[in-house]
């Protein structure tokens, strides 16, 4: 069997002016790249300049992958809100749960959860992602009725205020309830694989959906996770297959967002490899969401800092993702991340203006 090849944008530059034909714009966003790594599981990584790459792409059958890298990503239409994806956007996290790894139990009741969501929107979150079931390592499943009871009043209040709401769930019944209450995006950590009705619910709603990579279930995913191939390529192929399954179920490809699933069935080294190689996922042709906020990875690298003392590490990972073109950053600390991105954007604007 011929080894599959993958394209990973590299050689990012600040200013594209005067470099026609030598650089390409990544996914219609604020980054330009001057080289690509051609990666396969059987050969060393090879680096090639963008200039004159067309014959090589044709020889390796990578024309479609190249088109995926450079095609602009469609804005998300979320109810009355339009979220553009030509620059990084923040999705705030609010877990209306007693046992989520970071903020579980903080929002005791729908009023407290809703107020937290409003505060995140006021701080600059383009989307607020509401969950009613913890999917931290070792978490037990929650009955869908309890999950609906937790999230429905929150979603109703947010949607009624015009806030763009995402529902973080694996269950079709919860998706239906939340979408009926005004949620405009489904974020499924199982990539529509947990509930056989889920893909049909999303397709019928015509809403955007996040497909996240995972290995195993929340109860078992951190029990010595292993990958047969390089994790970057295995996660890419898995997401590619889930995209095709979603499209076959009637979901428009333009509505699909992918998430490599930091911390969901990965070792610390797996997570680091995924974050270092993140730009490869633009080859899927979908916007990328990254949820590394307060994750165990940060504690492992920083003296076992507890979840509520991982802000600096979370910001470092958010900016790492932005530097590789991630369009959506899912975070707990919205105001701080928004400020960091404003500085990131200011640096890019200044470089372009001086160019």
Q: CATH number of the domain at 281, please.
A: 3.20.20.20
pLDDT of residue 113 exceeding 60: yes
The pLDDT value recorded for residue 101 is 44
Phi-psi region of 21 (alpha: psi -120 to 50; beta: other; left: phi over 0): left
Among 8, 73, 295, 296, the one annotated catalytic = 295
pLDDT in tens, 166-222: 999 999 999 999 999 999 999 999 999 999 999 999 999 999 999 999 987 776 657
Active-site choice (157, 242, 255, 330): 330
Count the domains in the chain: 2
Same domain, residue pair 58 and 100: no
Helix, strand, coil percentages in the chain from 3-state DSSP, rounded to 5: 40, 20, 40
Domain boundaries, position 51: 5-70
Catalytic residue flag (residue 22): no
Q: Indicate whether 46 and 155 sit together in one domain.
A: no
Which pLDDT tens digit goes with each residue over 260-285?
999 999 999 999 999 999 999 999 99
**Mean of the per-residue pLDDT values of the chain:** 92
Length, in residues, of the chain: 355
Contacts of 36 (CB under 8 A, 6+ apart): 7, 8, 9, 10, 47, 48, 50, 53, 69
Question: Same domain for 16 and 109?
Answer: no
Of 166, 84, 87, whose CA–CA distance to 121 is shortest?
A: 166
> DSSP for 13-54?
ES--TT-TTT-EESTTSS-EEEEEEEEESSS--EEEESTT-H
pTM for the complete prediction? 0.94
Give 8-57 pLDDT, tens digit per residue: 999 999 999 999 999 999 999 999 999 999 998 877 889 999 999 999 99
* Rounded (10°) CA dihedral 180, 184, 189, 194: 30
Q: Are residues 171 and 219 in the same domain?
A: yes
Question: Is 295 noted as a catalytic residue in this protein?
Answer: yes
Q: Using the 3D structure, point to which of 45, 70, 95 is the last residue of a domain.
A: 70
- The helix or strand, by DSSP H or E, that contains position 211, with its residue range, turns out to be strand 209-212
Same domain, 144 and 33: no
Q: Do residues 132 and 82 both lie within one domain?
A: yes
> In this structure, are 155 and 38 located in the same domain?
no
Same-domain check for residues 39 and 179 = no
pLDDT at 8: 98
Last residue of a domain, one of 70, 92, 118: 70
Q: What is the pLDDT of residue 142?
A: 83
Does one domain contain both 47 and 92? Answer: no
- Residues 188 and 84 placed together within one structural domain of the fold: yes
């Amino acid at each position: 069997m011929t080894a599959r090849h993958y394209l990973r944008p590299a050689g990012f530059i600040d200013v594209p002016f005067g470099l026609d034909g030598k650089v390409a714009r990544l996914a219609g966003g604020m980054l330009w790249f001057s080289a690509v790594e051609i990666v396969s599981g059987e050969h060393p990584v090879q680096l090639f300049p963008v200039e004159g790459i067309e014959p090589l792409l044709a020889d390796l059958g990578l024309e479609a992958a190249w088109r995926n890298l450079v095609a602009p990503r469609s804005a998300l239409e979320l109810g009355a809100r339009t979220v553009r994806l030509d620059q990084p956007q923040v999705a705030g996290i609010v877990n209306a749960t007693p046992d989520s790894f970071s903020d579980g139990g903080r929002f005791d009741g729908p009023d407290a959860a809703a107020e937290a969501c409003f505060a995140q929107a006021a701080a600059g979150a383009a989307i607020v992602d509401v969950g009613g079931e913890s999917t931290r390592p070792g978490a037990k499943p929650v009955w869908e009725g309890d999950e609906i009871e937790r999230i429905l009043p929150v979603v109703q209040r947010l949607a009624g205020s015009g806030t763009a709401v995402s529902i973080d769930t694996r269950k079709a019944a919860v998706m239906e309830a939340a979408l009926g209450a005004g949620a405009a995006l489904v974020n499924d950590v199982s990539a529509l694989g947990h509930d056989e009705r889920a893909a049909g619910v999303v397709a019928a709603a015509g809403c955007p959906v996040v497909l996240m990579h995972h290995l195993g279930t929340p109860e078992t995913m951190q029990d010595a996770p292993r990958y047969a191939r390089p994790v970057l390529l295995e996660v890419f192929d898995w997401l590619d297959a889930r995209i095709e399954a979603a499209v076959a179920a009637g979901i428009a490809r333009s509505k699909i967002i992918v998430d490599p699933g930091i911390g969901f069935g990965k070792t610390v080294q797996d997570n680091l490899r995924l974050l270092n190689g993140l730009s490869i996922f633009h080859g899927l042709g979908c916007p990328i969401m990254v949820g590394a906020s307060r994750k165990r990875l940060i504690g492992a690298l920083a003296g076992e800092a507890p979840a509520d003392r991982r802000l600096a590490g979370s910001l470092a990972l958010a900016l790492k993702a932005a530097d590789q073109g991630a369009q959506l950053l899912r975070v707990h600390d919205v105001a701080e991340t928004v400020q960091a991105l404003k500085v990131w954007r200011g640096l890019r604007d200044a470089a372009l203006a001086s160019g």
